[in-house]
Amino acid sequence: MTAEKAPAVLTPTATTAAGATLSRRTPRPQRFLVTRPTYFDVVYSINPWMHTDVDTDAGLAMRQWENLVATFRRLGHEVEICEGAPGLPDMVFAANAGTVIDGVAVPAKFSTDKRSGEEKPYTDWFRDHVGSVVVPTLVNEGEGDLLWTGRLLLAGSGFRTDPLAHNEVAEALGVPLVPLKLVDPSFYHLDTALAVLDTGSAGASGRAETIAYYPGAFSAGSQAALRRLYPDAIIASRADAEWFALNAVSDGRNVVVPEQAPTFARQLEERGFVPVPVDVSEFRKAGGGAKCCTLILR
């Protein structure tokens, strides 16, 4: 067994078009929920990335996951662990467990019985560790399709989350919502096609929210909405999106991204972020990446 190499941390040196050095971004310590991949495997297919004839390496998956968790802790984040359960190979993808904002958790209600067994252990965990839990009645797949920007809840649908669930979740959390339609099955969850990089800051002089996304994953109307809301968004290539570059975890400065997407890493540097490359390629076999393995507990 070889030791995992430490992730490279790149220092941003980019400048704006006017030649002024970009202001240094400020990281915000966060609290994450993750689930150990004890039972991770690909034994069914519920998205285009899953092929049951492709073997998974349980040892490699565990080492990659442990390195991801170590990376979060090295960056100053708090990491909590909900243990997985037999028969739930996708439970490692903790982002789908629910959505948590201001101490209120809305657990997931999965679209497939292949994952519905995850609902109870995650809901029990929320009841033990989060201030308030609102159990949904409509299908939503947590932060897979519900991404908080600090101002708006970007809500995806098209393949998993029921669009009628958007209002249910927004009402439970007390937040404004923007619906977005996904049209490419390769990007079946919003967090495979869009990343919230910086939630911005309040006040007239504060930083604006920053996102990155792959336009081809969205309907024409949703592309137009994203252009209006985020004219300065980072636009990722399909090649990088297919490596789940947009399935990134950001603290407002450091962005944990797949090491297989160097072009996206350079785009991040140009905007003053610090890419932190990791290898989570074993989870790509199930259609997941770093963010899929990570739920933000706000």
Show which residues are catalytic. 189, 292
Q: Which residues contact 151 (CB under 8 A, 6 or more apart)?
A: 176, 199, 200, 209
Q: Which residues pair with 275 in a beta bridge?
A: 255
Q: Which residues contact 2 (CB under 8 A, 6 or more apart)?
A: none
d(Cα 29, Cα 298) in Å, to the nearest integer? 11
Strands (E), the chain: 31-34, 78-81, 98-101, 104-107, 132-133, 146-148, 153-157, 177-181, 194-198, 210-213, 234-235, 249-250, 254-258, 274-278, 295-296
DSSP string, 91-112: TT-GGGGEEEETTEEEE-B-SS
Q: Are 232 and 223 in contact (CB under 8 A)?
A: no
